[in-house]
Amino acid sequence: MYTNEDNRFFLEKSKEIIDNFEDADFLKKNIDGIKNVIRFHEHRYYVMNDPLIADFEFDRIYDTLKKTEKINPSLITGDSPTQRVGPGLTKQFNTVQHLVPMLSLENSYNAEDLIDWDRKARELSGIESITYCVEPKFDGASISLIYENDKYTRGATRGDGVEGEDITLNLKQIRSLPLSASFSTYGIEQIEIRGEVLMNKDNFKKFNEQLAEQNLPPLANPRNAASGSLRMKDATSVGKRNLEAFIYHIAYIQYDQKNTRIQSHSESLEILWNLGFKSPVAEKKILVGIESVISFCAEYEKKRDTLPYEIDGLVIKVNEIALQDKLGMTTHHPRWAIAYKFKARQSTSTLLQVEFQIGRTGSITPVAKIQPVPIGGVTVASISLHNEDFIREKNIRMGDTLLIERAGDVIPYIVKSFPELRKGHEKEINFPSECPACKTKLIKTEEEAVWRCPNYQCPAQIVERMIHFTSKDAMDIRGLGEANIRKFYEMGWLKDIPSIYQLPFDSLKKMEGFGAKSVENLVEAIEKSTSQPLHRLINSLGIRYVGETTAKALAQKVHHLLDLQKMSKEELQEIEDVGVKVAESIYQFFSTKDNIEMLNKLESIGLQLRSSKKQPSSGSLNGKSFLFTGSLLKMKRTEAEELAEANGGKILSGVSSKLDFLVVGEDAGSKLEKAKKIASIQILSEDEFIQLIKK
Ligand code: IVH
């Protein structure tokens, strides 16, 4: 869509703006140009997924606009890129009427349904073979947007189809939606367009991880995350959710007198794309006759899991607008379009039992044991109920029928219960008041939704702490595993973390199921763990809120782990990544006598409590950024990351123009595709990465 000349033009302009960062007069004179440069880069980043400059350069240009508008408020226009940021909170969303009702689509589930639908369409139209445009059925929250005289004027939710909620401000936060678009070049004065707001799978995963960190139950699927985000009262928070929007339909157009009308659906997708919207131009397929549509649907369903966002099917649309008009609509849906729904990832089952599991920090999690059901290719038998509030909100009783969903690679989730199907024998779920393992009275603080066992010596917690300590991303003691830890604890061989280093290997060799070789491997793995770097040891201690990133920040800060014992909460908070809650938790950990004794024991056993603070600047990969994707064959991903870091490299979490190297293992997916589009990223195989380190 941009010629090389366009790209060069905007890059030169970008450079010029950055060079004149301090020159208020220059910036004022060129304010319209600056806005256009920002729009160009936003479009390349958010719509095309193909940025041309580094994020910090973009930020710099954006700052010039903010600064200039602050000095010259009269130059602020409604469609300025700075005007995405909403003022204050929305008290309530007003109800607004759509210009044209938002209809739903008829559903089809198999080839017969499609053949039937196509036959009816052919009969009604008298056409022998219809040309269809097939595109993804995006699984998000539907929206309707109005542009008048090229300006975005209103955005609304679907609501009941006739009226929706006015979410104009919130939608401004979605940077793939342009605030102005040159519809007038097509003779369009007013237009109402429809689309779907999505949270992509990566962002959804991160979002759920953040919820989990706060002990909040995760959301079932990205669709709920998207629709929930659109209804937030604070528009700036909407911006932080990294939503995106696909626009796939023109619902209403008011042309001026002289115009050429849009002939086909695919043409409208092209026009929307050319005007800066993210429409499914690349995703759509034009097919003649229903047979080719059927094979395309079958092929596309296989690709479902490789897409960066969720889709729940495909939408098949008659391509020619004149033919669409001829076919018209029923009261519920258009006759010219149909949804082809993929296999459901939902199923119902019965709640058989609830177990209360104790985590390493003492949190009690109710877990539903259900009648096993296959969903999306796996059998689900056990699902987290998160906490007491979740059980209450979802109105779940023992024996209830439950609706269960497993979206893509997301963990299974209970969508709802069916109280209307109760037979009378269903019972309330009683939350225990005592720890199921040690009988200590459970406690719950005001800020938290979870009950906790406060007994640090609770056997269940000790076992969970050992499991965490030995796990892959912690001390990585292979061969010990969860089942063995439980068994050895029962037998009295393991009683706490230091006892891992005092296992009676001679007796172990005599045990059934343990050959000399497996014991030898275990001895080696345990021995090897003593030289794990400090940040891994910190991560393995299972301090609440301290994960891999915070562990690294702490290890960087101290010479010896016990230095943390001497730090006040305020001092702890000065460390990167450490907020009030985290500082409190670290402080608690190091104020507990048992923990200090344990650390002293571990040091006398030979574990590394001293920081091996490597000077990254001396490494051969000094300052270069890396990202690993796909499965590596010669080492684990965490090992590769550590190797890169040990040599002065940095690890990034996603593909952007900030990335220097993408190291690609087997079955690499969307990250590789994205990286290929950014010329400055070097793509390396695992072997090439190893070579690079050796240099
Ligand atoms: S076209 C008049 N195209 O599916 C036809 N809808 O079940 C307008 N949806 O309410 C809809 N992807 O929220 C259309 N590519 C797509 C779609 C799509 C998702 C949603 C939309 C609609 C629902 C119908």
- Per-residue confidence (pLDDT) for residue 618, from 0 to 100: 58
Q: Whose CA is nearest to atom 22 of ligand 1?
A: 104
Q: What is the distance between the alpha carbons of residues 243 and 197, in angstroms, rounded to a whole number?
A: 7
pLDDT, tens digit, 9 for 90 and up, residues 262-299: 999 999 999 999 999 999 999 999 999 999 999 999 99
- In the numeric block, the tokens 């003779």 are attached to 187
The Cα 251–Cα 245 span in angstroms is 16
Ligand 1 centroid vs 104 CA: distance in angstroms?
7
* Contact predicate 279/269, CB 8 Å: yes
For this structure, is 601 an active site residue? no
| Residue carrying structure tokens 């089809």 | 108
The answer on pLDDT for 88 being more than 70 is no
CB within 8 Å of 16: residues ≥ 6 apart: none
Cα of 256 vs centre of ligand 1, distance in Å, is 28
**pLDDT tens string 384-405:** 999 999 999 999 999 999 999 8
> Residue 333 corresponds to which tokens in the numbers above?
């849906």
Distance from Cα 270 to the centre of ligand 1, integer Å: 18
Beta carbons of 196 and 245 less than 8 angstroms apart: yes
Predicted pLDDT of residue 234:
85
Q: Ligand 1, from 248, 250, 273, 283: best to mutate by most atoms within 8 Å of Cβ?
A: 248
**Of all atoms in ligand 1, which is nearest to the CA of residue 249?**
1
Instruction: With CA atoms as reference, report the closest residue to 503 among 494, 516, 511, 513.
Output: 494
Classify burial at 448, counting beta carbons within 10 Å of its beta carbon; exposed 0-12, middle 13-18, buried 19 or more: middle
Q: Tell me which residues have their CB closer than 6 angstroms to ligand 1.
A: 103-105, 135, 137-138, 142, 194, 196, 248-249, 315, 334, 337, 339
Ligand 1 atom with the smallest distance to the CA of 251 is 2
Helix (H) or strand (E) holding 285: strand 285-288
Number of neighbouring beta carbons within 10 Å of residue 575: 19
Instruction: Give CA–CA dist 173/196, Å, rounded.
Output: 14
- How far away, in angstroms, is 136 Cα from ligand 1 center? 9
Give backbone dihedrals phi and psi of 198, rounded to 5 degrees, phi first.
Answer: -125, 155
Place of tokens 């172990």: 508
Active-site choice (15, 91, 137, 566): 137
Residue 428: count other Cβ atoms within 10 Å of its Cβ: 10
pLDDT at residue number 612: 75
Residue 56's pLDDT is 83
Q: 409 pLDDT exceeds 70? A: no
Average pLDDT over residues 639-644: 84
Query: Taking the CA of residue 657 as centre, how many other CA atoms within 13 Å lie in the half-sphere pointing to its CB?
Result: 15
| 306 neighbors 669 (Cβ within 8 angstroms) | yes
Question: Coil, helix or strand for 475?
Answer: coil
Centre of ligand 1 from the C-alpha of residue 249, in Å: 8
pLDDT over 70 at 616, yes or no:
no
The residue to mutate among 103, 137, 309, having the most atoms of ligand 1 within 8 angstroms of its beta carbon, is 137
Residue whose CA is at the smallest distance from ligand 1 atom 13 = 142
Of 72, 51, 144, whose CA–CA distance to 103 is shortest? 144
CA–centroid distance, 137 to ligand 1, in Å, is: 6
Using a cut of 0.75, tell me whether the model's pTM lies above it: no
Protein residue with its CA nearest to atom 2 in ligand 1: 103
Residue 184 DSSP class: G
Residue 649 has a CB neighbour count (10 Å cut-off) of: 25
Element (H or E) spanning 403, and its range?
strand 401-405
The residue whose C-alpha atom lies closest to atom 4 belonging to ligand 1 is 137
